[in-house]
Structure 1
Amino acid sequence: MAASQSEKKVVVIGIDDSEASTYAIWWTLDHFFPSPIFRLVLVHSRPAASSVSFPGPTTSTLVLGAGQIFFVLDLGFQKTATKVIDSAKQLCIEKSVHDAALEVVEGDPRNVLCMAVEKYHAAILVVGSHGRGALKRVVLGSVSDFCAHHANCTVMIVKKPKIKH
């Protein structure tokens, strides 16, 4: 007997336009879905154009003005979000998962994913590993590391296997 939507355990996947994210979706769909006990929520965090800072006046800021640059940046972020969501929908359809919820939230991915865990009362948060080295993780920050320490659920970090030549 299948559980009702409200009784199903929620699996949240953090998605972006990376190969690591695509692999995390595939891996999760292969291992958990379609399932009578899990419900899938895919969450994409998109930056706010206003969060982008400029080091100082540049040719583009002097010619276009900051307002126009923010508008252009926002259009680019929207286009990326649409591409990410469309790609995730297609992957779900290919794996016969037709009831996945897809959400785009503006903000820092670390905070957005932890808030999604709370919002959906997730049992599992899945994030892909970009495979960055220690220095890049320190400089750029690691979404998976942050979520592993701050999300109130099990966090699964999916790493694409390296192909040995």
Structure 2
Amino acid sequence: MSSESSTAAGSGSAEAAPSEKPVMVVAIDESEHSYYALRWTLQHFFTNAQHVPPHFSLVLVHAKPSAASAIGFGGPGGAEILTFVESDLKKIAARVVEKAKQICIAGSVNDVVVEVVDGDARVVLCDTVEKHQASMLVLGSHGYGTIKRAVLGSVSDYCAHHAHCTVMIVKKPKTQN
């Protein structure tokens, strides 16, 4: 498993360092549910009119699937396909990180650690919680139905049962027509 880290601005670091503030990890992916969860979290935990520093240190993490898991199986020409898929996955990760950074900047949150980690999202998120000794993990809810969730598996359900911290699942309200 490999990881890349960066900070939007400020003094965030990628290593789990002793800090007086508890750490909040927010999972990010290319879904609008993920971005909604990030905006909601910033609004409720990191942005205030009294200019009081936030109670948490913020870590954003994007789990980048492996190219092999993204295509599912190998076959003739598989090696060439893997190269293209890996390139696309890196571009997606870069877009996810850039959009998340822009959301943070728009919310006047500049002290944030951003990580891209290769691997299954369930394992990556639980490992990130451990690495940073996080006290809270925030995930967006994709709102899958029972059957789709049973077939695909639920990252939030897995994390709720396996992460060693409080897990908050932020559900985007249904729009009114």
Give your verdict on TM over 0.5.
yes
Structure 1 residue 163, shift from structure 2 partner? 1.9
Kindly indicate whether the alpha-carbon contact (under 8 Å) linking 1:5 and 1:39 is maintained by their aligned counterparts in 2.
no
Contact 1:46 1:108 in 2 (8 A): yes
Of 20, 23, 31, 1:7 maps to 20
> Normalising to structure 2: TM-score of the pair?
0.83
> 101, 110, 121: which one pairs with 1:89?
101
Question: In the TM superposition, what are the counterparts of 1:43-82 in structure 2 within 5 Å?
Answer: 43-51=61-69, 52-54=71-73, 57=75, 61=76, 65-82=77-94
SS at match of 2:25: strand
TM-score, normalization by structure 1: 0.89
Secondary structure at the aligned position of 1:102 is classed as strand
> Are residues 1:124 and 2:136 paired?
yes
Task: Supply the distance in 2 between the matched residues of 1:132 and 1:43 (Cα, whole angstroms).
Answer: 22
Unaligned runs of 5+ in 2: 1-16, 48-52
**Tell me, what secondary structure is at the counterpart of 1:11?**
strand
Question: What is the root-mean-square deviation of aligned Cα atoms in Å?
Answer: 1.6
| Residue type of the alignment partner of 1:134 | T
Larger radius of gyration: 1
Runs of 4+ in 1 over 6 A off after TM superposition: none
Unaligned runs of 5+ residues in structure 1 are none
For 1:93-108, list aligned pairs within 5 A. 93-108=105-120
Query: For the residues of structure 1 that align with 2:159 and 2:72, how far apart are their CA atoms?
Result: 25
Higher helix share: 1
Identical aligned residues as a percent: 56
